[in-house]
Structure 1
């Protein structure tokens, strides 16, 4: 079985095709889905959907790129939101250095506060880190956060990877590795310990090579796994088993629900 460690299956683009797509995923061996929220407004939809899909697990948080309409008071609601069946972590949270993102001081405030909530709940986190790995690691150290989680869509150096691994994180590996030009990502993936990474799609974003312009879905996970196996000169069954084990290790509440 494969697990997609990061997919936005709750997004509106999947409305009307979600059940059919779920059936196709299960038939393809993708049997687990971690769905992180992005905004406070999206929490209720995800909470209502997860009731209908026993294969899903949820995380709740405020995504750094969508903070323009966010309020600090929403963080006060995070603890209660995370105290529900099939909620395994806090996320998607983090820092985004894209040019049109909100002020970094605001991002750091939201990120640090959400890390503190996760720390108090003893939950792992799903971290969005775009061009911000060193800043993210600094925040993790400042909060003394020790519950680990996933660094989503990791594309940093092996030194940055080691920094996160030392804090109990694993690295999210997705469609980027299907592009031949992604030489650094290939080198890092080849050098990682087998316990250091999980598979993800970031559906509906981050399309694989050959699928540009199309809506990405968790059906991409077996392709990503095969690419990872080629890069690491392992068999794809090893990749499937190890990445599932890694995810279950990092998110210990996963099996409290039915899968």
Structure 2
């Protein structure tokens, strides 16, 4: 069994599955995907996340506000975060973090929101899902400042080994998406070789970033198998061993996840 540790089920184009989310999930299950973590990105989609978790026993969710959604009037408050996090099936905080690639002008707003999410994570004891792009030092500084005992995960990691090492030293896990399979991702593959086996996760970030051999098409949770097989081969380990290891890592990081081991 392998787990898709980061997907956006509410954003999938389900045309290929007859418009049916259950069919898309079943296609993933048939490839050996045993659990899904559906990620919150805004105030508006938090109820949708909770409904997903309530509907499917193999789907858990997070709630939070993505840094690129803040400028759309989706600023969270501490009370809102704590209320939303206090629901069954909500196992993590986020997606939160910093993205200076698209909205460097909102850096201060992003930093304030990031700190708010980390404070909420400390309050509720749930791990945090971190997005970072072109904001390496500020991300590390804020994570270090927060010093969360339960840490979290650097999702869809695309940075260099020094940043990965710094995040690992702070207790964070590193998650790889389909980007690691891309032709120009040699530097990222070097990082994937160095992350300790007990701190690595895999994800799709679907519907974005479909891995080779699906690149250029919509991404779906079933393709986490392709990511995991690629990283396993890269690291020179058996796929079933790697899938079991990343499943154990996921369960350790997200102890409230309703993962059923068959």
- The verdict on a shared fold, with TM-score over 0.5 as the criterion, is yes
The question of whether the paired residues in 1 share the 8 Å contact of 2:12 and 2:220 is answered with no
Indicate yes or no: 2:4 matched with 1:4. yes
The question of whether the paired residues in 2 share the 8 Å contact of 1:203 and 1:216 is answered with yes
Tell me the residue number matched to 1:23.
26
Partners of 1:102 and 1:60 in 2: how far apart?
Answer: 24
> What RMSD, in angstroms, separates the aligned Cα atoms of the two structures?
1.7
Moved more, 12-21 or 81-90: 12-21
Task: Report the count of equivalent residues.
Answer: 258
Indicate yes or no: 2:118 matched with 1:115. yes
Q: TM-score, normalised by structure 2?
A: 0.93
Deviations, residues 69-104 of structure 1 (Å, cap 9, x unaligned):
235454421111111111111010000011345510
The question of whether the paired residues in 2 share the 8 Å contact of 1:172 and 1:199 is answered with yes
Deviation at 1:124, TM superposition (A): 0.4
SS of 1:106's equivalent? helix
Partners of 1:95 and 1:251 in 2: how far apart?
Answer: 22
Q: TM-score, normalised by structure 1?
A: 0.94
Indicate yes or no: 2:232 matched with 1:229. yes
- Map residues 163-182 of structure 1 onto 2, 5 A cutoff: 163-182=166-185
Partners of 2:205 and 2:12 in 1: how far apart?
Answer: 14
Partners of 1:3 and 1:96 in 2: how far apart?
Answer: 26
Q: 1:22 to 1:113 in 2, by over 3 A?
A: same
SS of 1:88's equivalent? strand
Partners of 1:120 and 1:209 in 2: how far apart?
Answer: 40
Deviation at 1:21, TM superposition (A): 0.7
Partners of 1:98 and 1:75 in 2: how far apart?
Answer: 26
Partners of 2:235 and 2:76 in 1: how far apart?
Answer: 45
Deviation at 1:147, TM superposition (A): 1.6
Candidates 94, 101, 106, aligned match of 1:103: 106
Q: 1:80 to 1:186 in 2, by over 3 A?
A: same
Q: Which runs of 5+ in 2 are unaligned?
A: none
Partners of 2:86 and 2:205 in 1: how far apart?
Answer: 24
Partners of 1:102 and 1:251 in 2: how far apart?
Answer: 33
- Map residues 42-57 of structure 1 onto 2, 5 A cutoff: 42-57=45-60
Deviation at 1:19, TM superposition (A): 1.1
SS of 2:72's equivalent? coil
Q: 1:14 to 1:94 in 2, by over 3 A?
A: farther
Partners of 2:181 and 2:201 in 1: how far apart?
Answer: 15
- Map residues 134-153 of structure 1 onto 2, 5 A cutoff: 134-153=137-156
Deviations, residues 23-76 of structure 1 (Å, cap 9, x unaligned):
111111101001110010001112122211100111100000111123545442
SS of 1:127's equivalent? strand
Partners of 2:53 and 2:131 in 1: how far apart?
Answer: 22
